[in-house]
Amino acid sequence: MGVVVQLSGSQDAGASLAPLTALVGDDMGHVNRIILDKAGSNVELIPELARHLIDSGGKRLRPMLTIAAAKMCGYEGDGHVQLAASVEFMHTATLLHDDVVDESSLRRGKIAARLLWGNEASVLVGDYLLGQAFKMMVDVGSLGALRILSDAAAIIAEGEVMQLTAANNTETTEDDYLAVIDAKTAALFAAATEVGAVIAERPKHEAAALRSYGRNLGLAFQLVDDALDYSGEQSKLGKSVGDDFREGKVTLPVVLSYRRGNPEERVFWERTIKDGNIGENDLNEAVDLIARHNALADTMERARHYGAIARDALAIFPDGEIKEALLEAIEFSVDRPY
């Protein structure tokens, strides 16, 4: 536990989500009220379980992106708030299902819902939230936004299945891994930002630019997340360091270390990741191997590549405080405190 490796980049560099949070604050208050309201049900278990996860916070990055995108596009209605809540519900549903599939024990620093209420309840409440998300989207009445978000839901599910297939497979290529995170993570980021332009009825190229921004931000975000799992301090990360390792998840640090390793090292990865035969000192050994092959630094380097693409995607929008905040969200994601 608590293995900490220094990544390049500095905690003091100062990129933060604060400007974004400030700019979308009022609308996010509205989003949060909708979230609490729509997570309600006469079936007592539903709000109980849902709120366990919802109250535990999380950055609410995805709905903030929807709000910010809509505002940057000059949207003046209130549909963006409902869409943002839908996006967060889609994300929450994914987390509930993920924890069941991955047999995780910790989520956002709290005991995973599945350990308190069971796997079945977690799966079903996830389904319920997804259903609520779709109802809210339909209420907004934008067919375009509905299409984008329902496409994303299908792609996310596809990504989860892909990940299941790739699980424990040390021979996963970087392209395979990227295809998984493109579907599993980046698709929702892309949809979250694209719908902002769509409900504001902005031209196609602005929707495409916001989609590209979201997608590449999502890729960068997930890459850094995967790096943090081998380096972050547990308290800051809100999940156990080494979770991915213990679950046999093949993330980029492992892909690179496996491929760059010698035959003996590959045997180590096959025993631990592939066969799930993990001893007491194996996480430390994994962290050492990852460091030896520069795999964390290179994972961060790949993240910066996608961050750069996200930045250029946004460049067509006029300068302004929202654009500035969205650009800072890239820096924050690529250079998160660890």
Residues that bind its own copies in the complex, under the rule CB under 8 A? 169, 171, 173-176, 205, 208-209, 211-212, 215-216, 255-256, 258-260, 298, 301-302, 305, 308-309, 312-313, 315-316
| Min dist. Cβ of residue 175 to its own copies (A) | 4
Q: Given the complex with its own copies, which of 97 and 202 has the nearer CB atom?
A: 202
CB-hemisphere CA count at 13 Å for 44? Answer: 0
Q: Given the complex with its own copies, which of 86 and 257 has the nearer CB atom?
A: 257
SS3 316: coil
CA 157 to chain CA centroid, nearest Å:
14
| Min dist. Cβ of residue 266 to its own copies (A) | 8
| Min dist. Cβ of residue 318 to its own copies (A) | 9
DSSP single-letter state for residue 261: S
| Min dist. Cβ of residue 304 to its own copies (A) | 9
| Min dist. Cβ of residue 136 to its own copies (A) | 28
Give the other-Cβ count within 10 Å of 91's Cβ: 22
Q: Given the complex with its own copies, which of 216 and 240 has the nearer CB atom?
A: 216
**φ and ψ at 110, to 5 degrees?**
-115, 160
DSSP single-letter state for residue 202: -
Q: What whole-number distance in Å separates Cα of residue 250 and Cα of residue 253?
A: 8
Q: Given the complex with its own copies, which of 128 and 269 has the nearer CB atom?
A: 269
CB-based contacts of 88, cutoff 8 Å, min separation 6? 31, 35, 60, 62, 63
Q: Given the complex with its own copies, which of 75 and 177 has the nearer CB atom?
A: 177
